[in-house]
Amino acid sequence: MRMHLRGTVLPGDEVQDLWVHDGVISFEPVRGAETLCDSGWIVPGLVDAHCHVGIRYGGGHEDREGAVAQAEIEREAGALLLRDAGSPIDTRFIDDRPELPEIIRAGRHIARPKRYIRELGIELDDERDLPDIVAEQARFGDGWVKIVGDWIDRSVGDLAPLWSDAILTEAIEAAHREGARVTAHVFGEDALPGLINAGIDCLEHGTGLTGDTIAIMAEHGTALVPTLVNIDTFPDIADSATKFPVYAAHMRDLHRRVRDTVADAHAAGVPIYTGTDAGGSIRHGRIADEIEALAGAGLSRHEALAASSWRAREWLHRPGVEAGAPADFVVYRTDPRESREALDRPAYVVLRGQVYPGRDPVTGHR
Ligand SMILES: [Zn+2]
């Protein structure tokens, strides 16, 4: 399919003509190209950097058909690059489906017995196995490994770290030797210094960040994916944790201050990216909600969109709207940095040079 588009290509402010042929972008005219649009905003494909294709909404494993449906919903919302932060099923068959977003996998969650959602992760009885398992998952994933950094310890009645600092250092070195980056699920405060000082590349959620840990994150260049749409479920988690009042109060407090936490991290220079945590307790297709949430947590609307588009793509080593790059972008009729409504209504989603309609704002999946 050959096509021509004219619009403001973000992050620039210039109106440009671009062409698509053989699935790639060109800034030189392509003969026989039909014009898809002659005005609008052209945004590098959105990134859901914390997403679980393969975990069913409500819990459990998704089958292939269900995983495809989740990936399609992400595409309709404009999320064309997904960093899968742990999936219980093998979604590699999706790589052969050009109509579905690209998935960058982190292998399976690595946890300890009774210290994560049951049946999702690999559970290590002995923490000394962590470096080997991390290396194994690094080879299985697409350049990322996901470990569970903290979880409720029912014997303590509160969030607590899963690993010693020493084993984290060894494990993260093992992943780096395999050429993979490491990220960790972390809600509370106590696991943070060990993870960051061990050289972890990214933190998921990070609700327990405080001035001190934000400072060491900024110093190390550790990224943060706050998953704000998921953090908004913390009060529900607290309500259902009646047997653990300390934990419940802790979760409520983390939730209460999360927007200030993200704003402080952003102000300190911590790189922040969008992730919805879709799968399990969050429905797929909510990338616009996460962009909106970041825009309410200390980032400008421009920065929040950057965190979901060109900056996130760069972080994941994927190109933006560039000559010769795969034609993966979203077209909006109005400036998506100006209003929520624009983000909710992509006019076209272009993935590998194919045009898909954006989500129908009336019947759209939510
Ligand atoms: Zn998650």
pLDDT at 166 over 60: yes
Q: Residue 352 pLDDT > 80, yes or no?
A: yes
- Report how far ligand 1's centroid is from the alpha carbon of 83 (Å): 10
When mean pLDDT is compared across 108-112, 200-204, 325-329, the lowest value belongs to 108-112
Distance of CA 280 from the midpoint of ligand 1 (Å) = 8
CA neighbor of 241 nearest in space, from 255, 228, 229, 227 = 255
| Arithmetic mean of pLDDT, 221-250 | 97
Reply yes or no on whether the pLDDT at 366 is more than 50. Answer: no
Which helix (H) or strand (E) segment holds residue 195: the answer is helix 192-197
The answer to whether 358 touches 346, Cβ cutoff 8 Å, is yes
Tell me the CA–centroid distance for residue 205 and ligand 1, in Å: 9
Check whether 365 has a pLDDT greater than 60: no
- Quote the DSSP letter at residue 261: H
C-alpha 52 to ligand 1 mean position (Å) = 6
Phi–psi pair at 335, nearest 5 degrees: -65, 115
Q: How far is the CA of 7 from the centre of ligand 1 (A)?
A: 35
CA of 87 to the centre of ligand 1 (A): 9
Task: State in Å: Cα 334 to ligand 1 middle.
Answer: 32
The chain-wide mean pLDDT, for the chain, equals: 95
3-state DSSP assignment of residue 213: helix
Q: What is the distance in A from the centroid of ligand 1 to the CA of 34?
A: 41
Q: What is the CA radius of gyration of the chain?
A: 20
Q: In terms of C-beta density within 10 A (0-12 exposed, 13-18 middle, 19 or more buried), how is residue 183 classed?
A: buried
Residue position matching structure tokens 């990936």: 71
Residue 257 Cα to ligand 1 middle (Å): 20
Residues with Cβ within 8 Å of residue 199, at least 6 apart in sequence: 169, 172, 173, 176, 220
Extract the tokens encoding 101: 């977003």
From ligand 1's centre to the CA of 275, what distance in Å? 9
* Å from CA of 107 to ligand 1 middle: 12
Among 120-124, 247-251, 345-349, 350-354, the minimum mean pLDDT is found in 120-124
Cα of 105 vs centre of ligand 1, distance in Å, is 12
- CA of 10 from ligand 1 middle (Å) equals 29
Distance (angstroms) between ligand 1 centre and the Cα of 82 equals: 12
CA 282 / ligand 1 centre spacing (Å): 9
The pTM of the full predicted model, rounded to 2 decimals, is 0.96
Mean pLDDT value across residues 331-357: 94
Distance 277 CA to ligand 1 centre (A): 5
pLDDT tens digits along 28-55: 999 999 999 999 999 999 999 999 999 9
* Residue 118, pLDDT score: 77
